[in-house]
Amino acid sequence: MKVGIIGLGFVGLSFASVLGSKGYYVIGVESDRNKVSKIIRGEPPFYESKLTNTLKMASKKLFRVSTDIKLVVNQCDLIFVTVGTPQMKDGNIDLNMIKSTASEIGKSLSKTKNKPIIIIKSTVVPGTTQNLIKPILEKNSKKITGVGFGLITNPEFLREGKAMDDTRKPHIVVIGGDDKNSIKKVKEFYCNIYGTKIPMIITNTQTAEMIKYANNSFLATKISFINQIANICQSVAGTNVENVARAIGLDPRIGNQFLKAGPGYGGSCLPKDLQTLIRFSSKSGIDPLLLKAVQKTNASQVRMVVSLIERSLVKVKGKKITILGLSFKEDSDDIRESVSIKLINALLKRNAVITVHDPKAIENTKETFENRIRYAYSIKDALRHSQCAVIMTPWKEYGRLTNNDFRTMKRKLIIDTRRLFIGHNLNAEYHAIGVG
Ligand code: UGA
């Protein structure tokens, strides 16, 4: 069994590395030559815990990288498409990469006897595989789906920061398709990797695409819900959202995950997918009232952080504020849609003097703010002479800080958006989201 993976971004490289480390013959295709050289050197182009080792293991076995789609179309039995579908400035999803990939696959299919199954893992709006990808493949290959090649939709649910664990042991596999033979082969492939006990949903392509959007939108809904509860808790003295979340999370109908209140969700997926579903729903004539409220609640959460800062500092202008954590979540260097970036922008508008720290995301942040803010490479340096420290990303090292670390601050004021210091005996003015 030869596996091709087109697009070595987050999902593609994680998947390729895990399959490769398990001994599968994998050809990864990536158009960015810079990325290709890095991957060949065994260096992932982004930070993901455990990926470097897995990639090295894969490279020692049968994982190869190329820039040539033809190679995988000629040789592979299964071809996973994991190219990005980013958001455009107008909020719509950019399908250009997936369109050009489908057309290149189609052209190569026209010249080969190989009959691979094309498996769409990229997140695409319901109907895209049927109405866009399939016609492009058929037109360029002059072959019919289910005869000259197979076509499956297979959304991905891995999380950044946990990509290796999630890829090795996903909670579910969703397979969407119309032709029984392709579904059977993809099902067998996954059963070989994950065993037969893994929950599998077999459905059509549109439903598989919808599952991905519903999943991410529901996660976003849970976060906005608990953030709203947190904000209410803040106005009731003595209330702590942590205990509220723990209690309601024990109700099996609710579940205990994604109930961590904070500054709002970010990243390259939840905000984008919710926005796409809102647009898609509106175009379909359904006013997505709940989804819009989730989005609005999330956008307003950064204002809650600003108001906590303003309430304590009164005048933000000229004040030295330290931001601890820039990535949209811990164990990641990704700052896409990170609430920290939104907060820095809001504070710069108020003429605050900003110093930032993050264990992994400083280099990415430099590209956004250049010399408008100061970058500290140690927490100690970040806190020295500061008049307010704002904890934004729940990196483990921030949770280990003690009074000794805060002693060099000019004013010991801590705004904790993740409640890392509840129960710690801090000798500081302390305000946390969700604590009244
Ligand atoms: C999300 C989904 O969780 C994955 O299942 C999905 O595969 C992925 O999008 C995708 O579509 O590719 P990811 O963006 O890596 O994964 O990050 P999450 O773990 O979902 O976190 C998103 C944001 O929510 C972060 O800013 C995080 O800090 C925030 N969050 C998460 C909370 O504020 N509270 C929580 O309880 C959980």
Phi, psi of 338 (to 5 degrees): -70, 135
- In this prediction, residue 211 carries a pLDDT of 98
Helix ranges (H only) for 235-269 are 241-249
pTM value > 0.75: yes
Nearest CA, atom 28, ligand 1: 329
CA dihedral 382, 332, 274, 18 (to 10 degrees): 180
Give the pLDDT of residue 423: 87
Q: Give the model's pLDDT for residue 185.
A: 98
- How far apart (Å, rounded) are the C-alpha atoms in residues 110 and 351? 60
339 C-alpha to ligand 1 centroid (Å): 13
The tokens of 251 are what? 């109700």
Q: What is the token pair recorded at 86?
A: 């980013």
| pLDDT attached to residue 136 | 98
C-alpha 261: how far from chain center = 18
Q: What is the mean pLDDT of residues 89-117?
A: 95
Closest residue by CA, ligand 1 atom 1: 159
Work out the average pLDDT over 28-49: 95
Q: How confident is the model at residue 89 (pLDDT cuts 50, 70, 90)?
A: confident
Helices 339-349, 362-369: axis angle to 10 degrees equals 40
From CA 43, how far away is CA 212, in angstroms rounded?
29
Tell me how far the alpha carbon of residue 329 lies from the centroid of ligand 1, in angstroms: 8
Cα–ligand 1 centroid distance for 387 (angstroms): 31
Distances (CA, A) of 131 to 124, 134, 136, 151, 335: 11, 6, 9, 12, 33
Give the number of other CB atoms < 10 A from CB of residue 245: 22
- Angle (CA) 296-345-428 rounded to 5° is 95
Q: Can you tell me whether residue 61 is helix, strand or coil? A: coil
In this prediction, residue 175 carries a pLDDT of 98
The rounded Å distance from CA 220 to ligand 1 centre is: 8
The yes-or-no verdict on residue 43 having pLDDT over 90 is yes
Atom of ligand 1 at shortest distance to CA of 162?
15
Asked if pLDDT for residue 430 goes beyond 90, the answer is yes
Alpha helices in 205-349 (DSSP H): 205-234, 241-249, 270-283, 289-313, 339-349
Structure tokens at 246: 């723990």
Antiparallel, parallel or unpaired: β 200-203 and 320-324: unpaired
> Which residues does residue 259 pair with via DSSP β-bridges, in sequence order?
none
What pLDDT is recorded for position 91? Answer: 80
Q: What is the mean pLDDT of residues 4-17?
A: 97
The Cβ of residue 89 has, within 10 Å, a number of other Cβ atoms equal to 6
Do 79 and 40 contact (CB within 8 A), yes or no? Answer: no
Q: pLDDT over 70 for what percent of the chain?
A: 100
Q: Which residues line ligand 1 (CB under 6 A)?
A: 123, 156-160, 216, 219, 223, 258-260, 262, 265-267, 269-270, 328-329
**Ligand 1 atom 3, closest CA:** 159
258 pLDDT more than 90: yes
**Which is the closest atom of ligand 1 to the Cα of 264?**
33
Protein residue with its CA nearest to atom 10 in ligand 1: 269
87 or 225, which is more confident? 225
Per-domain boundaries in the chain: 2-203, 218-432
> Distance between CA atoms of 33 and 246, rounded to whole angstroms?
47
Ligand 1: nearest atom to the Cα of 158? 7
CA-to-CA dists, residue 394 to 20, 179, 345, 361, angstroms: 32, 45, 20, 13
pLDDT band at 366, cuts 50/70/90?
very high
In this prediction, residue 92 carries a pLDDT of 86
Distance 265 CA to ligand 1 centre (A): 7
Query: One fold for both 2-203 and 218-432?
Result: yes
User: What's the pLDDT at 187?
Assistant: 98
Q: What is the pLDDT of residue 90?
A: 82
According to DSSP, the residues that pair with 79 across neighbouring strands are 4, 118
pLDDT by residue (tens digit) across 172-196? Answer: 999 999 999 999 999 999 999 999 9
CATH 3.20.20.370 fits 218-432, yes or no: no
The answer to whether the CB of 375 falls within 8 A of the CB of 390 is: no
**How many Å apart are CA 221 and CA 293, to the nearest integer?**
9
Q: Are 15 and 5 in contact (CB under 8 A)?
A: yes
* Span 114-136, average pLDDT: 97
Q: How far apart are CA 300 and CA 269, in angstroms?
A: 19
Which of 215, 329, 340 to mutate for ligand 1's pocket (most ligand atoms within 8 Å of CB)? 329
Q: What is the pLDDT of residue 321?
A: 98
Average pLDDT, the chain: 97
Statement: residue 290 has pLDDT above 90: yes
Q: Return d(Cα 252, Cα 360) in angstroms, integer.
A: 36
Does 357 score more than 90 pLDDT? yes
Contacts of 330 (CB under 8 A, 6+ apart): 161, 393, 394, 395, 396
Retrieve residue 232's tokens: 């209410």
State the Cα–Cα distance between residues 65 and 36, nearest whole angstrom. Answer: 7
Residues linked to residue 414 through DSSP beta bridges, in sequence order: 389, 430
Residue nearest to atom 37 of ligand 1 (CA): 258
158, pLDDT greater than 90: yes
Residues with Cβ within 8 Å of 387's Cβ and at least 6 positions away in sequence, in order, are: 313, 319, 320, 321, 409, 410, 411, 413
Whole-number Å distance, alpha carbon 219 to ligand 1 midpoint, is 8
Nearest CA to ligand 1 atom 23: 265
Q: For domain 2-203, which architecture applies?
A: 3-Layer(aba) Sandwich (3.40)
Residue 297 token pair = 């609640």
Note the pLDDT of residue 359: 98
- Catalytic (active-site) positions: 269
